[in-house]
Structure 1
Amino acid sequence: MNPVVIGYSFLALAIVFEVLGTTFLVKSEQFTRLMPTVLMAVLYIGSFYFLSQTLKTIPLGIAYAIWGGVGIVLTAIIGFVIFKQSIDLPAILGIILIISGVVVIDVFSQTVGH
């Protein structure tokens, strides 16, 4: 299999684990609930493991920008849908800018072959 495809697969797993970890961070209620706290820690460790595997084929700056950007967007969506947190117009515009930045990096950057 193509190493770049493997790298992006690891990156996708890192993002999913990070977003789930952040969701359990909220559920841990400032580390006062044991199981959500443990799940959060395991998911964050998994996220960093998969992110480290990503770095075998995708440069740090590109991987981190995508990991952080997509994670922010997904976390905002989860906050809105699951935790009923409001998102105002400036937040929506910021999310659109983040998505735009990730697309520009992924589509136009010559740092990683596609």
Structure 2
Amino acid sequence: MNLTIDVSKNEDVHEVKLSGEIDVYTAPKLKDTLLPLTQERGSTVHVYLDKIHYMDSTGLGVFISALKSTKEYDSKILLINLQERVFRLFDITGLKEVFQIESSIRGGL
């Protein structure tokens, strides 16, 4: 499956709506889209993950890179509506403690 990325801007908030899978094949596309948004000083990036049904460690790496970028550029990233399977990755790796994750956890397919 592919990854679809829809980016829009509402005031100072970039909204990134994702659907599909984040894996070794699609992660570079996500990284190329996400990192420049976090490199805008003072910006906020909302990433909607409710339509992501699979993510591997490569995807986690993209989000870790984005988080590091927010520290460097004084921006923020917020992960919204994670599917249960995706949330579990953040949970078992301890990353749910370092990322701001919002909204309810949704069940898988």
Q: What TM-score results when the alignment is normalised by the length of structure 1?
A: 0.30
> Normalized per residue, which structure has more helix?
1
Higher relative contact order (CA 8 A, sep 6+): 1
Q: Which has the larger radius of gyration?
A: 1
> Normalized per residue, which structure has more strand?
2
